[in-house]
């Protein structure tokens, strides 16, 4: 009999959570849990490196550009290598693909046991690192296509085909948000236990909240509908919040509502954010929490990808706020 006054720690770890979830699906062979545990392990290792970066001299750039033409931070490379190492040892992964690498990494074919493909942005928003701002890891899990010989075509699947998606936010705490299609759950890293602990199941985004998130520096080149929406928001008592790291701006929306926009700009005519390993996983997480996610006037998870690193515009957040903006688009 448990003593009523004794408050035990929350020991519902990521590991026990995914095993409990797996037990609900007798046909699940445990493959999937291996992948999520690898991502959790990588997240803990990356969190450790991010938190000590200034002390260990790991800040700053490597003096090279990545495939995106963006200056590569040392921690981008470290995070990428950490994920490759943790996931590479899982025997059921066929293909891995990263924002940092031009081509996908083929680990094994379907006949060799490759059941899943894992795509990731290893350290989103890394330009925040030098100013101690939040950064994040974003991941997306797809089923392998054994009959498709080309790795890039294998992973160019619409977001609706994802079997799991999530992100790890390295902020004041290290939060892991994940969905396997049965709601969106929130875990927090307990540094003393060294485990991600389940703190909230079935997150729900408020239908409305008067906060918008957009880089208004590009306002002169925004589409007319966007400028009309911003004029409406300015006249309707909205607040503006913009952190410059997608994971952090989306996490605020997940926790309290609001809307994030990255529309086409002069510099990024198709939008800046990458469809496969940024927009799609964010879209699955947000929709599973009752929000909406569009790229142009198309639901993001309905977009048929053509290339690994293709970019899309993004409109994501509270269902009521997104619907209002779709109205400004004339949808
Ligand atoms: P801008 C970070 O570089 C990123 O890919 C996202 O994390 C973020 O939302 C966006 O770009 C910020 O872009 O043009 O406002 O600096």
Give the ligand 1 atom nearest the CA of 249.
9
Indicate which CATH number applies to the domain containing 294.
Answer: 3.40.190.80
Does residue 241 share a domain with residue 125? no
Report the separation in Å between the CA atom of 128 and the middle of ligand 1, taken as the mean of its atom positions.
10
Q: Whose CA is closest to 138, among 162, 157, 108?
A: 162
Please tell me the total count of domains within the chain. Answer: 2
Mean of all residue pLDDT scores within the chain: 93
**Which pair of structure tokens corresponds to residue 259?**
């809307």
**Helix, strand or coil for residue 189?**
strand
Quote the pTM value: 0.95
pLDDT 10s digits, 94-118: 999 999 999 999 999 989 989 999 9
Domain shared by 223 and 323, yes or no: yes
Q: Is the CB of 124 under 6 A from ligand 1?
A: yes
Tens digits of residue pLDDT in 60-98: 777 778 777 777 778 999 999 999 999 998 889 999 999
CATH of the domain at 60: 3.30.540.10
Which is more confidently placed, 21 or 262? Answer: 262
Residue 205 within any structural domain of the chain: no
Distance CA(67)–CA(109), nearest Å, equals 25
CA angle, residues 241, 122, 70, in degrees to nearest 5: 75
Work out which ligand 1 atom sits closest to the CA atom of 217: 15
325 Cβ contact list (under 8 Å, min separation 6): 225, 229, 259, 261, 315
Domain range for 38 is 14-200
CA distance 30 to 15: 12
Residue 273 alpha carbon, nearest atom of ligand 1: 5
Contact 157, 280 (CB under 8 A): no
């Amino acid at each position: 009999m448990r003593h009523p006054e004794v408050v035990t720690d929350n020991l519902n770890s990521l590991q026990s959570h995914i095993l409990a979830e797996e037990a609900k699906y007798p046909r699940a062979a445990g493959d999937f849990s291996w992948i999520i545990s690898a991502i959790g392990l990588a997240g803990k290792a990356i969190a450790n490196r991010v938190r000590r970066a200034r002390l260990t001299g790991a800040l700053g750039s490597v003096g090279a550009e990545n495939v995106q033409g963006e200056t590569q931070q040392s921690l981008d490379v470290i995070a990428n290598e950490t994920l490759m190492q943790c996931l590479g040892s899982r025997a059921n992964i066929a293909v891995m693909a990263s924002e940092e690498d031009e081509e996908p990494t083929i680990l094994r074919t379907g006949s060799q046991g490759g059941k899943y493909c894992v795509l990731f942005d290893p350290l989103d928003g890394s330009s925040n690192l030098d100013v101690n701002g939040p950064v994040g890891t974003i991941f997306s899990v797809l089923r392998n296509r054994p009959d498709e010989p080309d790795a890039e075509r294998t992973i160019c699947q619409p977001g609706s085909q994802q079997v799991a998606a999530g992100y790890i936010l390295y902020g004041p705490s290290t939060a892991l948000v994940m969905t396997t299609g049965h709601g969106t759950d929130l875990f927090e890293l307990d540094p003393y236990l060294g485990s991600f602990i389940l703190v909230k199941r079935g997150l729900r985004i408020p239908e409305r909240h008067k906060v918008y998130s957009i880089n208004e520096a590009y306002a002169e080149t925004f589409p007319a509908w966007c400028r009309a929406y911003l004029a409406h928001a300015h006249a309707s008592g909205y607040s503006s919040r913009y952190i410059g790291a997608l994971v952090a701006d989306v996490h605020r929306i997940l926790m309290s509502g609001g809307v994030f926009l990255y529309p086409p700009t002069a510099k990024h005519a198709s939008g800046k954010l990458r469809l496969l390993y940024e927009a799609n996983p964010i879209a699955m997480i947000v929709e599973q929490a009752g929000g909406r996610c569009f790229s142009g006037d198309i639901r993001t998870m309905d977009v048929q990808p053509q290339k690994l690193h293709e970019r899309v515009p993004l409109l994501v957040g509270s269902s009521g706020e997104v619907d209002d903006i779709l109205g400004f688009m004339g949808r």
